[in-house]
């Protein structure tokens, strides 16, 4: 086992971000898409904190906290939308909700 280098943190963050992005693009279940978004946000957080530690600047950590707050808020709003969607249309499939178009 070698040392854990800053580079490794970034690789992990990139992988998690890619998994999240693919999940958002490919899955049809809105709950799962939501979780994928959370993955992307946390990947970004990981990257921020890692860089912050590497260059000895606290700003990245502060930004990570802000992202968490925003993520929490987003979850609250997003889940509310999904719940009302389920109540009205009885579905969580994103393909069933494509009325907003030309």
Binding site for another protein (CB under 8 A): 21, 24-25, 94-95, 97-102
Least distance to another protein from the beta carbon of 73, Å?
20
Contacts by 64-70, CB closer than 8 A, 24 or more apart = 67/41, 70/41
Least distance to another protein from the beta carbon of 80, Å?
17
C-beta of 88 vs 99, nearer to another protein: 99
Least distance to another protein from the beta carbon of 1, Å?
32
Angle between helices 30-55 and 59-89 (to 10 degrees): 180
Q: By the 8 A CB rule, do 30 and 94 touch?
A: yes
């Amino acid at each position: 086992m070698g040392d854990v280098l800053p580079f490794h943190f970034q690789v992990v963050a990139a992988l998690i971000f890619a998994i999240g992005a693919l999940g958002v693009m490919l899955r049809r279940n809105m709950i799962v898409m939501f979780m994928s978004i959370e993955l992307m946000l946390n990947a970004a957080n990981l990257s921020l904190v890692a860089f912050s530690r590497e260059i000895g600047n606290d700003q990245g950590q502060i930004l990570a906290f802000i992202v968490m707050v925003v993520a929490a808020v987003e979850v609250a709003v997003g889940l509310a939308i999904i719940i009302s969607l389920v109540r009205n249309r009885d579905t969580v499939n994103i393909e069933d909700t494509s009325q907003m178009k030309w």
